[in-house]
Amino acid sequence: MTTTTIHHDKKSVGKKTPFPSSVAKKVLDFFFCHGSKTDFVYSSEFPRWIPRKLAKSGRPMFVAVGGCARELRNSHEGSVFFTSVFGEVIRSKGPIEMGSGGTADGVPGFCGDVREKYGSDVFLVGWRTEGRRMLEPPDPRYDVTLVLTSAISVWEREVHSYFNMLGMVKNLNPEKKIVFMVFGGGEIATIEALYAIEEGYPIVIVKGSGGTADSFAENRTITSKQNVHVVPYNAQATIDKLIELLN
């Protein structure tokens, strides 16, 4: 399988958008070019096939937010949890799309495990900054990896970029189901999850998985929001909630 790398054009970086923002109503402030796994060429041509593919596929999309291996209590247990949960979702609802960090470490790696086990029933999209790419090699099990390269190589910019992509998908297909799941996580997962909550995406928090998930599950301000759903660290409870949100 080939991982496609999409590059952010440095010249296209515009005014910094307030964070968090209503990305569904924002015009994209970046452009991508379509290259190969090792081709780091800049371009201002936006490959419309990416949001169009996601919008027209008819598949629900699950975005996994969580920690790297060192932030998780048990990486092997997490991998088993992910393959079990999403395997049952696939059996119940059919092929799916997934999105995460594009590496083989922690939660992004668990998504790679799901892709590896269930093959073409999963279309896996990754996103990361150029700085992360230099520190951690990309996971070749991802179908598409969006690499944000800019002088502002910070997490805020990365989060903003992929929420813009998701907002574009929703604009193309308002009926598209996009569900977030928080599993463990640290500072960056907290930013990503808060952004998802702010934008109104349904989000499932797996209480007992540690980190961000546990702190959010104990925060009444967060759990009182209608789009936030807390489930115990139990495969069946998570499966039931994810399927419920697709119906």
pLDDT at 156: 61
Please provide the average confidence, as pLDDT, over all residues in the chain: 78
If one compares 46 and 228, the residue with the highest pLDDT of the two is 228
What angle in degrees, to the nearest 10, is found between the helix axes of 155-172 and 49-56?
A: 50
Determine the average pLDDT of the residues in 163-192.
91
164 pLDDT band (50/70/90 cuts)?
confident
pLDDT at 14: 32
Cα separation, 9 vs 45, in Å, equals 9
Determine the average pLDDT of the residues in 69-80.
77
DSSP 20-80: S--GGGSPP---EEE--TT---------THHHHHHHHS---EEEEEE--GGGSS-HHHHHH
Residues 6+ apart with CB under 8 A from 218: none
pLDDT tens, residue by residue, 19-67: 333 333 332 233 333 333 322 222 233 456 778 889 999 999 999 999 7
pLDDT at 74: 67
If one compares 130 and 82, the residue with the highest pLDDT of the two is 82
pTM recorded for the entire structure: 0.80
pLDDT exceeds 80 at position 101: yes
Contact (Cβ atoms closer than 8 angstroms) between residue 221 and residue 247: no
pLDDT at 49: 74
Q: Which of 64, 49, 131 is nearest to 97 (CA)?
A: 64
Which amino acid is located at 196 in the chain?
A
CATH of the domain at 85: 3.40.50.450
Cα separation, 160 vs 191, in Å, equals 10
Q: Which domain holds residue 165?
A: 4-246
pLDDT exceeds 60 at position 83: yes
If one compares 130 and 103, the residue with the highest pLDDT of the two is 103
If one compares 101 and 157, the residue with the highest pLDDT of the two is 101
Give me the number of domains the chain comprises: 1
Cα separation, 33 vs 43, in Å, equals 5
pLDDT at 75: 75
Determine the average pLDDT of the residues in 199-216.
95
pLDDT at 154: 52
**Percent over 90 (pLDDT), the chain:** 51
Contact (Cβ atoms closer than 8 angstroms) between residue 40 and residue 149: yes
For residue 104, how many C-alpha atoms fall within 13 Å in the half-sphere facing its CB?
Answer: 8
What the block records as the tokens of 225 is 């929001």
pLDDT exceeds 70 at position 189: yes
If one compares 127 and 219, the residue with the highest pLDDT of the two is 219
104 pLDDT band (50/70/90 cuts)?
confident
pLDDT at 2: 44
Q: Which helix (H) or strand (E) holds 97?
A: strand 96-100
105 pLDDT band (50/70/90 cuts)?
confident
pLDDT at 148: 62
